[in-house]
């Protein structure tokens, strides 16, 4: 069948990692499009098959395997299901011009005139390039998705999937907290969150973790101080030793409170904040003891390939033994894959229905002829955000939204953590007791740990977190 004999169709593509609510977007967008008599074609596995040049898209054998025509009956009960009926992949169609041309060729073959992409900032850039390279012949709406909550949506609007991921993560951490109390252990929980600490902080704060550490609390390194091969990376004044000393200080404070257990939540983005150069200086990293430092098609460190929790556990044990401090039993736990395909909670089920509906509303509006856009809502009102205003042409990404570490919400989170604060170092009795627990004299303790003190809380009584 030729392009001209096909009705104009709407395509859907899901890219990046899974997030709770993808099926909700697919469902609502399909229902709205079909209610307006627009055929909907869903391509499987993101752009993975769209870039292939040896595909016969007229072969009936690949229907259902690599694409499917969606009807209302196919999606009517999907909005409360996790996962993605279209699956997903991280294939980047913008890396090679011939790949993007092949994508456009397939879209022309099916007479695709409208496209809904569902994904993070990398998928948003891919969608923006479809709009640009097609010369406006294909109208594009991108629905932003990530459990990291790091996309710059207006008025602190969350990305879909975040609230469900936090909800499930809190239950996991509360269970581990009870295990820590029962067995006198310390859990080191590494939470997903590449560019920002929203998920780690949201889980740690709601679950009353002993300590939560996120990248944003450390100052960024200026470009001139970054290693040559990492000039364009957002590195911070941070090292593994510093992370370990912060945790050790919390362990000592807990012992001061006669509590031999605790839970630490670490954002995985701390790895990128430290940077590849510094990581390779740590014993065992270059040799692959903790996995390989690999990068994906979008030049991200593949954080899932690095055993960050085990690295921190080994470093903590090493530093505590070197200081002559008895190390507790540490258990490391990655927290992320369990969250990404969870059934969405009502917040995300409702929110994704809005987003899918909003994508079709935008694509049917005159504005879609003027620009491609990222779909967002503000105070219940659809607010399409033009690609050209949201995506940096140099980095080819949206500028990540960061946790505001100067805001009261973050200050509240810090207030309920167990961290060494400067007031304790200035209190001779407290300093002496902490130094005794560390088998150090007070002056040596101050010299070792002063740089990790909680400067946001210099005075005031401590709280005992999590009982």
Cβ–Cβ < 8 Å for 38, 99: no
Nearest residue to 138 via CA among 23, 266, 231, 9: 9
Q: Length of the chain, please?
A: 467
Element (H, E) at 457: none
Contact 196, 402 (CB under 8 A): yes
- Cβ atoms of 323 and 438 closer than 8 Å: yes
Please count the other Cβ atoms lying within 10 Å of the Cβ belonging to residue 297: 13
Question: How far, in Å, CA of 43 to CA of 88, rounded?
Answer: 9
d(C-alpha 316, C-alpha 320), whole Å: 6
CA torsion angle 419 409 456 219 (round to 10): 90
Please, what sign has the CA dihedral across residues 45, 50, 54, 60? positive
Rounded distance between C-alpha atoms, residue 379 and residue 372, angstroms: 22
Give one DSSP letter per residue of 307-327, joined into a string: -HHHHHHHHHHHHHHHHTPPP
For 296, list phi and psi in degrees, rounded to 5. -90, -170
CA 238, 248, 312: angle at the middle one, nearest 5? 60
Taking the C-alpha atoms of residue 101 and residue 87, their distance in angstroms, rounded to an integer, is: 23
User: Rounded distance, CA 49 to CA 43, Å?
Assistant: 8
Q: Which of 80, 119, 76 is nearest to 344 (CA)?
A: 80
The one catalytic residue in 45, 122, 148, 454 is 148
Residue 460 CA to chain centroid, in angstroms?
Answer: 34
CA distance 374 to 9: 20
148 catalytic? Reply is: yes
Q: Please identify which residue in the block is written with the tokens 């290693």.
A: 227
Q: How many CB atoms lie within 10 A of CB 462?
A: 16
Cα–Cα distances in Å, from 97 out to 117, 118, 133?
19, 22, 10
Let me know: does 94 contact 133? Beta carbons within 8 Å. Answer: no
Active site residues: 148
């Amino acid at each position: 069948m030729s392009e001209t004999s096909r009705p104009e169709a709407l395509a859907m593509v899901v890219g990046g990692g899974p997030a709770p609510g993808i099926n909700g977007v697919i469902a609502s967008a399909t229902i709205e499009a079909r209610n307006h008599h627009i055929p909907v074609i869903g391509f499987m596995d993101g752009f993975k098959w769209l870039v292939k040049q040896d595909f016969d898209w007229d072969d009936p054998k690949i229907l259902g395997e690599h694409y499917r025509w969606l009807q209302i009956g196919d999606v009517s009960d999907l909005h409360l299901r996790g996962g993605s009926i279209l699956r997903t992949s991280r294939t980047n169609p913008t890396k090679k011009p011939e790949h993007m041309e092949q994508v456009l060729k397939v879209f022309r073959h099916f007479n695709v005139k409208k496209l809904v992409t569902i994904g993070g900032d990398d998928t948003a850039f891919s969608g923006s390039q479809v709009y640009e390279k097609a010369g406006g012949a294909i109208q594009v709406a991108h629905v932003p998705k990530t459990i990291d909550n790091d996309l710059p949506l207006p008025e602190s609007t969350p990305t879909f999937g975040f609230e469900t991921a936090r909800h499930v993560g809190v239950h996991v951490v509360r269970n581990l907290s009870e295990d820590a109390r029962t067995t006198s252990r310390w859990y080191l929980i590494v939470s997903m969150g590449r560019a920002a600490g929203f998920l780690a902080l949201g889980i740690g704060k709601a679950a009353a973790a002993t300590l939560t550490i996120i990248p944003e609390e450390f100052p960024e390194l200026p470009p001139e101080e970054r290693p040559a091969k990492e000039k364009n990376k957002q590195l911070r004044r941070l090292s593994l030793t510093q992370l370990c000393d912060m945790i050790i200080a919390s362990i000592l404070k807990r012992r001061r409170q006669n509590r031999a257990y605790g839970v630490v939540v670490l954002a995985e983005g701390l790895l990128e904040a430290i940077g590849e150069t510094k990581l390779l200086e740590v014993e065992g990293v270059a040799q692959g003891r903790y996995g390989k430092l690999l990068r994906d098609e979008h030049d991200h460190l593949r954080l899932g390939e690095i055993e960050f929790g085990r690295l921190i556990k080994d470093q903590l044990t090493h530093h505590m033994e070197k200081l002559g401090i008895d190390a507790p039993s540490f258990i490391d736990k990655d927290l992320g894959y369990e969250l990404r395909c969870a059934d969405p909670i009502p917040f995300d089920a409702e929110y994704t229905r809005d987003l899918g509906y909003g994508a079709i509303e935008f694509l049917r509006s005159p504005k879609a002829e003027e620009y491609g856009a990222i779909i967002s809502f503000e105070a219940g009102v659809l607010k399409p955000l033009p690609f050209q205003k949201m995506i940096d042409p140099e980095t080819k990404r949206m500028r990540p939204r960061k946790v505001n570490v100067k805001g009261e919400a973050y200050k509240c989170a810090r207030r309920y953590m167990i961290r060494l604060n400067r007031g304790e170092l200035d209190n001779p009795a407290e300093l002496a007791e902490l130094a005794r627990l560390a088998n150090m004299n007070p002056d040596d303790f101050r010299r070792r740990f002063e740089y990790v003190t909680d400067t946001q809380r210099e005075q005031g009584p401590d709280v005992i977190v999590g009982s």
